Amino acid sequence: MSAIALATADAAAAARGDVRPYQSYVYAYPHKTAYRPLPDRPALRDLWRGEDKSALSLYLHIPFCEVRCGFCNLFTRIGAPDGLTGRYLDALERQADAVREALGDDGPVRFANAAFGGGTPTFLTADELTRLCDIAERRMGADLRSVPLSVETSPATATADRLAVLAERGATRLSIGVQSFVDAEARAAVRPQRRSDVEAALGRIRAARIPVLNIDLIYGIDGQTPATWRTSLDAALAWEPEELYLYPLYKRPLTGLARRRTAHTDAEWDEQRLDLYRRGRDHLLAHGYEQVSMRMFRRAGAAPQGPEDHACQTDGMIGLGCGARSYTSALHYSFDYAVDMGEIRTIIDDYTATEDFSRADRGWSMDGGEARRRHLLQSLLQARGMPLAEYRERFGAGPYEDFPVELADFAARGWLEGAGTRGEWLRLSPEGLAHSDALGPALFSPAVRAAMAAYDPK
C-alpha cells in the first residue's frame, strides 16, 4: 500500500457505515477554511517562476450584493457606501499590475478563460463593469472576446445597460441565481424577490443575446414539495436555458438560515433533498438535458463553455479581488476568509487600503499527495469520469494504487460504475453522483480535515 493510502486509511475506515449524503459541496480543494497564514509571505514572482502560464484561468471577484440570501456563506457584503466600489476597483487595478508583473516574460502568458464572480458582479454600474473588463484586458492581457467569459448576476441587477456592456465585451455565459420561482419559497430562503421580476430579468438576458444562459435552482427549502419543485423546474425550462444547476440547500454557520429552527430532523431533510434531487435529475434528463455533474445539467446540443485547452486539474488560476484564490502547481493562496458581515467589511476595507500586492498572504501547499487528491476529486465528480491513463501519466501510478481503501469503499456502496471494475475509466454510478457531497469529503487528506476542523468561523 502506498504512503498516500496508509495516511488516509483511517479516515476512510471511519467513514464506513451510513453516511449523510449532504456533507460539503466540493467546488475547490482544499477549501479556504484550510488555508493558513504563510509565515514567509512568498513573493508572487517566485511562486510563478517556471510555471506553465500558457492556459491560465482568470477570476475577478466582486464582493457586493444588494441583499444577502439566508443560505449564503459567500464572501460578500450588502451594499456599498459611497465610493467603496470605486476604491475597490482601484485596489483591483493595483493588484492586477502587481500580478501581471509577477507573471514575468519568461514564457507565454495567456488566459484560456475568464469569469467575474462574487458576490454579484452586476452590482457594479455599467460604467464600473466597463472598467472591470478593462482591468482584465488592459492590465492582465486577457482577450475577453476570444475566450469563454462567464459572469454571475441576479434578477435585480440584470439591467439592460449592464447586460449590454457584458455582451459587447464578449460575455459568453450569464449565470443567474433564481433558486425558486415560487415566491413563498424565495421568502423561506430569505431571498426577497418576486417571480414577475425574475421573469423580466430572464427576458432582458435573452434579449442581450449572450450565448449561454444558466439558471440556478435550490431544492430542500422549508415548505418545498415535489409539486412546487416541479413548478420551478418547468418555469426554468420554459426559457430553454443552455445550462441548469440544481443545488441542495445547506444551512451553514453564521448564515441567516442557520439561526432558524426547522420542524424536520436531519435524516428527514436528507431524505427530502435526495428525493427532490432525483426528481429534478430525471425531469431534466427527460427534457433533453445531459448530466455533467451532480449539480450541472447542459441542454443537448448546447455548446460547452469550458475552454478547449484548459484543464482545471493541472493549469493555473489567477484570482483578483479579496475573495479570490490563485493556484500554482505548488501553492494555493488567497486573502483572509469570513462569513460574518462585520468581518467581511473589515477584510474589504483592508484590501482597498493595500498598496503592495506582490506577496501571498494565506494559502495551502500542494505537495504530491494533495495534487493527487485534487486531480481525483475534480475528475471523479464529473459525470464523464476520469481516464485512468491520464492519471497514471501524470503521477506514475493509478488511483487504485494511491487510494485503494477509499475506492474500495465507494465500490462497496455502489457509487462506482460497474461496481468498481477496472476498465479504462473511473466513473461514478448514478447513485455515486447523487452522493457527491459525501464522496468528495471522503477524499480529503487528514491534514486538510484537521485544518478545516480547527478553523474558527468568523
Per-residue pLDDT tens over the stretch 390-439: 999 999 999 999 999 999 999 999 999 976 566 799 999 999 999 999 99
pLDDT(309) > 50:
yes
Neighbours of 42 (CB within 10 A): 17
Q: How far is CA 361 from CA 35, 60, 322, 356, in A?
A: 10, 18, 11, 11
pLDDT of residue 3: 37
At how many degrees (to 10) do helices 3-14 and 368-380 cross?
50
180 φ, ψ to 5°? -155, 140
Least confident piece of the model among 101-110, 231-240, 401-410, 414-423: 414-423
Which of the residue ranges 11-20, 81-90, 103-112, 383-392 would you say has the lowest mean pLDDT? 11-20
Return all residues near 22 (Cβ < 8 A) that are at least 6 apart: 248, 250, 270, 273, 437, 438
For residue 72, the model assigns a pLDDT of 60
Give the pLDDT confidence score for residue 2 in this predicted structure.
Answer: 38
pTM of the shown model: 0.92
Residue 98 has what pLDDT? 98
Q: Which residues of 272-301 are buried (b: 16+ CB within 10 A; e: fewer)?
A: bbbebbebbbebbeeeebbbbebbbbbbee
What letter would DSSP give residue 77?
Answer: E
* Confidence (pLDDT) at 18: 78
Average pLDDT score over residue span 340-345: 87
Check residue 121 and report its DSSP letter.
G
3-state secondary structure of 270: helix
Q: How far apart are CA 336 and CA 351, in angstroms?
A: 10
Nearest C-alpha neighbor of 438 from the set 294, 275, 269 = 294
Percent of the chain with pLDDT over 90: 76
Number of H helices, E strands in the chain: 17, 17
| CA-based nearest residue to 415, from 1, 19, 11 | 19
Q: Is the pLDDT of residue 5 over 50?
A: no
Tell me which residue has cell 475577478.
60
Integer Cα distance of 63 and 74 in angstroms: 9
What integer is the mean pLDDT of 70-84? 77
Ordered DSSP codes for 314-327? TS-EEEESTT-EEE
Give the C-alpha separation, 221 to 335, whole Å: 32
